[in-house]
Structure 1
Amino acid sequence: MKLLNPRRWITPRGMQGKIFIGFALVTLLSIVSVTSIVYVNMRDTIKQNAVTSVSDSIRQADESLNIMLQEIDRLNTVVVTNKNTVIDTILSPNEEISYEWFMEQKRITEFLAGLIDYKPYITRIAVIGTNGKVFFTGSPWLDRSFIETPMIKAILRDGSRHAYFKPAGTDDAITVGREIRYDRQAIGVVMVDLNYAFIKKTYGVKPTEDSMLYVLDENDGFVYQSESSQDSVAPAVETIVKVNRQFAGRGVADRVIDGKSYIVVKQQSAYTGWTTLALIPMDSLLSESTKIRNLMIEVSVIVFILVLIGSLQMSFRTTIHIRKLKSMMFRVREGNLSFPRTEIKSKDEIGDLYRVFIDMVEELKRLMEGIRVSEKNKREAELTALQAQIRPHFLYNSLNTIKYLAKLNGVPNIEEVSGSLIELMRGVLGNSNEFLTLREELDYVSSYVSIEKYKYMEPIRVTTQIEDDSLLECRVLKLMVQPLVENAIIHGIGRLGQEGFVRIRVYAELHDLRIEVTDNGKGMSEEEIAILLGEAGKEKSSSRFSGMGVRNVHERIVRMFGEPYGVKIYSEPGQYTKAEIRFPRFMEQGSSAKEVG
């Protein structure tokens, strides 16, 4: 497949560019995260395995050494408690170069040799008396000059406690010594030399080639140090002693020694009191992990490049239909609705979008045709509306003429009826707003009453009680009070045949506006109230003027504000009828209505 020039279609703002960049970032973050987690876990595992291996090896070495030292201590106990062969020989007055001395030496030498037979880890056992007598078996050679050495003095100073020494100037033995006492007096010492080759073999713990291991006694003297520590890059003796003193207790820690990172493992023997320090260089320990890390980086780079190539192809194939659809939309924007269409047959969201777009274009073409037809009809309707506007003006002018003639001829009742009718029709026909102020609504009621009172022989008194003048600015539905007054006059007072009155009472209750229309007519039965409110079947309109009865007012209020708002009627036949409106309290504020909270 021949690709387009990437500079033409891959941009950070384009969808293909966003898909490509997003996929590349997600892939890069995933590869980096996985590689980092694997590498860190691998490093930790290698370090933990090395520490575990060294700790177990040191523990096993200590246990092996302790077993040998315990065996040597038992041998020393046998020697210091043997009176006939050891103590009596040391205390014997026999001098050298005598038969008795020769027999004593032979007897004690055979005794000592029997103790160390079949114990290859012991190179020498010796009994040295403070009187200058020296008896030993094994090597190296001993003479009476050894009595004056610091080792003998230290063993005698420690009393019955076992003493462990690495003889100064020698690397082939560790000496275990104990004082020999008789009659509460120190008469000599017994010393057993441990083969140093066994020590080297026991402590030959090397997780890496350049690892180092040190065994220090309680006085920070070196009992053992691995051969790798003799290298020129090994830390100095003073540095090891300093690390040992800074490292409190046993455990594992990372330390930088002479500018080089080490894992330091420290353990202390409860039997000998010796401290074992293992220094594992971090570089050599993690050299394999570094190789694996580099390999992982190389593999990650190759995988990332392959993913980029794949995402490039995928983003191109994903957005090719979007680019086609975009081209068609640009043509529609330019007003070309009959453009050549490139069909998109995919069954995914892009295919659905293409089909919706084509349907939209067809609908747009149909609407454009409809607009042309409607514009023609609109011009015709404007002419008709202009003609219709003449009719209300003609009616207003005719009524004004009647009012003027009535005034000229001194007929005030005709003048009043004509004026009221003009005001009523002007408010109803000329005001298209659904809401108006209570003041305006009461003006409509006043105009209506001025017309209706001339239909009856007996006068009709209509009074209005306003609890608070501010309530006159509340917003109410248009023609909300007039149908109730009309019902009171026609169905209540009109059938009375005598003087009647209608009282309109307006007051506020919490957040509601209450309007009561009460008359002293014949009253209504429960059935008549139900019919009036539309609760017992369909009612014919009771309004001769507006076409809206009491039921219409109730339904309008309930439909707009819900229960419990609306109209309720209370009546006692032959006494009175009271219609009560409950309406939300809205105040006039500019051109909008605001509910009173």
Structure 2
Amino acid sequence: MKLFSVKKLISPTVSIQGKIFVAFSLVTLLAIVAVTSIVYLYMRETVKNNALTSVMDSIRQADESLNIRLEEIDRLNTVVVTNKTVLNTLLSATEEASYEWFQEQKRIEEFLSAVIAYKAYISRIAVIGLNEKVFFVGSPWLDKNVIKTPMMDYLIQNGSRHAYFHQTGSNDSIVTGRHIRYNRETIGVVMFDLDNEFIKKIYDVKPTPDSMLFVVDEKNEFIYQPDNSSVAQETIIKLSQELAGSNASVEKAIDQRSYLVISRKSDYTGWSTLALVPMESLLSETVRIRNVLAEAAIVVFIIILFSSLQVSSRITRNIRRLRSMMMHVMEGNMTLHAVEIRSKDEIGQLYQVFKSMVEELKRLLEGIKTSEKMKHEAELAVLQAQIRPHFLYNSLNTVKYLAKLNGVPNIEEVAESLIELMRGVLGNSNEFLSVQEELQYVRSYVNIEKYKYVEPIHVNIEIENEELLQYRVLKLMLQPIVENAIIHGIASAEHGGLVLIRVYKEQKELRLEVSDNGKGMSDEQIKALFEVKEGGTYTRFSGMGIRNVHERIVRLYGESYGVFLYSEPGRYTKVEIRFPLLPSTDSA
């Protein structure tokens, strides 16, 4: 109750520090909100400009990629129209289905195949003579009926250098061609068909998932348009005409939705590329920026809160120091490490009173500790005085002598072991002895206990290093552990019992481990081993249980040492004693 009262006194619900902290927090919050809003608006505009630049670059790269392919086709056009095989074939008078015609077809198709070899973007190459000779490689199928089509007329009229024609319908593709001339007269046309999937791949530019891109030629025909277009073609053509011949961007309301329209015209083909990007999708990036700004604002706000807390704490510094001292005392630390409070106000007076109280408490605790030590020593003295050693030695020697005279070696062995055990317990007043002596007491105890059971008791001792036998331990540490292993562990087991004692060093500690293969122990049984029996005494031979051994070690060396028990019912029990390394030169 006293500790609870102290906690209430040093934890006020309302303080000057809290008021200052709240005031600083409100001012800081208003400032951060204002600055964050300004930065967000600026970043929003910046994101919009960056998106515009990105879309323009994407369109430019698509146009340049297509231009590179068209320039390559133009060079192939030149190769074809100047080839002697092509000219000779178109000028020859051979008729179709003759042997000479088949030879010409073979030669020209081999030449055309070589021209477009490894050009995956070319779906077909054809040489068409005005004399109705048609040769082609690729697909789709082509015959002499192509001569009477509008495409042929367009290529003948505009094919002095190169011309482009957009086929629609089932053969949706882009055709680029050039007429073939001989003696300044047009004798035919060579044309290349670009794969429509190649065009779609080049112009499949999507700055945002719902953006759209259109390519319109000079005849207002669509070279490319997205499959999911929600904007009418008339609207796109109108926008193309409004922005014709310019590389610009405008915001337009189309079908009650705001779009950023970006236009670019190719100098090589004359085609116009229009990108329609919805404004809400374009500015969706600002949502992420807003979240980042909010997170940054929260971090800054927390930092400023911490700073304001530090500033406000200066006003109540002495109160906090006194509170810290009280908390240390509540935790059992009687040493005041804090800086002394020298103020002359009420806090200084409280500090002097508290300091006097701690000194008096330390004095009382030292007295209690001394009394407990004297009490413990008195208990050991009373324990050893309960039986007179000389009388007991003489009696046991008489039993041993009579057993030897009557030829009873087991009684002789028991008597001799009991004499050795009693000599160590009653004849040695030191609280410490060597590991070797402690193991000898255990051997004597086992020699006595083994005659109580039908099945033999096997006790094995493993020493990691012979030097460990000379280290000093508390007297009678192992005997209660081994006794518990024999009586509660393997005595009631149906099979032969085994007790293993290991002595080793680990993590700068001396470890004594006792394990058995008996019936094991439950959590309740383990807990009972560390409890005092009825009447405040122990019922075992030594007068000390496992709990007593644990408390003796903890009292001298702290909570990190003592007895640690591990068990699994029906399988095993392992008791580990952790003890500091005390060489034989240490005083008992």
TM-score by length of 2: 0.46
* Bigger radius of gyration among the two: 1
